[in-house]
Amino acid sequence: MLSERVGKIKPSPTFAMDTKAKAMKAEGIDIVNFGVGEPDFDTPDHIKEAAIKAIRDGFTKYTAVGGIDPLKDAIIEKLKKDNGLDYTREQIIVSCGAKHSLYNIAQACYGPGDEVLIPSPYWVSYPDQVLLNDAVPVFVKTEEKDGFALRPEALEAKITKKTKALILNSPSNPTGGIYDRKTLQAVAEIAVKHNILVVADEIYEKLVYDGHEHVSIGTLGKEIKELSIAVNGFSKSYAMTGWRMGYAAGPKDIVKAMTNIQSQSTASPASMVQKAAIAALTGPQDSVGMMRDEFDRRRKFLVQGLNSIDGISCFTPAGAFYAFPNVSALYGKKAGSRPINNSRDFALYLLEEANIALVHGEVFGDDNYIRISYATSMETIDKAIKRLREAVARLA
């Protein structure tokens, strides 16, 4: 009874790893969880209160499909102030998470035979969302020595007549790499030259370190603005993963199509969550900076710890909350009789024999790496580094 389409995709592997780790934890095993991509902080109180008030006030009905005007206005204000982007209400759609906005874009813009460029390593949902719409993901490899940013010539080499879009994620999950202005400018020129839509997933924009600057590609000129769509959400900046709230801003015709799709699938995001989102955007922002500073502390501690282990080499991530160490020097070794030949072997070894949960790089498109989420306490990171050091020392 299943469609052919559904045979092409797999469940999100980051959630699969998390499920396995949680099952071990439920058995009483002391797991350190480096797997999940969500902040360990609680949602700030003033945001929760806004949702509670909305429920008490009876704001519990369907709303406009693409979001209520006061929320769209708050998003417009935010995009102007933080990103230097000017949009009108008809150019904004509010969805049930940034992932949902990305899916609406995929449905609105990708079709059979269309090629969608995805820099690799990539976030796990990009290729599957392309496949679900009968389009073809085309990967463009990025290199650690380039900070995992696209080389313009590598991008251009993959463009064909069928190329429809490019999905750009800066700061990146899983690498922590970010695009500087100059590289983005080069990417924008190529997109304009070949008339390619740029989907800019900016969900980690608030989490940048070491003086790096987040640049929205839509600010780099009139032509690229008309060819780009900015996607953002509340999950990462405001620790609101479970609330399911995100948005996109872009060309009117695309946003209108996305809104039509949403009207036939989910309708509006939850009414009270929209009120919480207004509070998040217009209320005090100190919790955002507090979380960023804490992530920064953990980032430095983790990267230093990883680089002190023989056989592991870790790029210093400039953004997001992931470290993406290269562990390929360990391949070919064994733990007793257990061979470690790829990132999956290594991740399973760490889970089963060192009780560290993390995600193998293979699922992000690069088998030489593993992904570690540092959205966890300093104590946990400290404990995990010790376990990791011992686990690696056992390999021969």
Ligand X SMILES: *Cc1c(COP(=O)(O)O)cnc(C)c1O
233 near ligand X (CB under 6 A): yes
Q: How far is the CB of 235 from ligand X (least distance, A)?
A: 3
325 near ligand X (CB under 6 A): no
Smaller CB distance to ligand X: residue 167 or 385?
Answer: 167
Listed residue (62, 54, 59, 91) closest to 76, CA to CA: 91
Cα–Cα distance for residue pair 260/281, rounded to 1 Å = 26
Residue whose entry in the numeric block shows the structure tokens 């997109």: 191
374 near ligand X (CB under 6 A): no
β 115-120/136-141 pair status? parallel
Q: How far is the CB of 14 from ligand X (least distance, A)?
A: 9
Residue 24: C-alpha distances to residues 16, 18, 20, 381 (Å)? 13, 10, 6, 19
Smaller CB distance to ligand X: residue 83 or 169?
Answer: 169
Q: How far is the CB of 330 from ligand X (least distance, A)?
A: 26
Cα–Cα distance for residue pair 166/215, rounded to 1 Å = 17
Tell me the site size for ligand X, rule CB under 6 A.
14
H/E stretch holding 50 reads helix 45-56
Listed residue (324, 314, 306) closest to 175, CA to CA: 324
Q: Site for ligand X (CB under 6 A): which residue of 133, 216, 219, 241? A: 241
Q: How far is the CB of 63 from ligand X (least distance, A)?
A: 18
Listed residue (333, 298, 293, 258) closest to 92, CA to CA: 258
Q: Which residue is closest to ligand X by CB? A: 97
142 near ligand X (CB under 6 A): no
123 near ligand X (CB under 6 A): yes
Alpha helices in the chain (DSSP H): 13-26, 45-56, 69-78, 98-109, 125-131, 152-157, 181-194, 222-226, 252-265, 271-282, 286-307, 343-354, 378-393
Specify the stretch interacting with ligand X by CB under 6 A; choose among 21-29, 148-156, 229-237, 354-362. Answer: 229-237
35 near ligand X (CB under 6 A): no
Smaller CB distance to ligand X: residue 246 or 365?
Answer: 246
Specify the stretch interacting with ligand X by CB under 6 A; choose among 40-48, 214-222, 230-238, 270-278. Answer: 230-238
Q: Site for ligand X (CB under 6 A): which residue of 43, 104, 219, 235? A: 235
Q: Which residues bind ligand X (CB under 6 A)?
A: 37, 97-99, 123, 169, 173, 201, 203, 233, 235-236, 241, 246
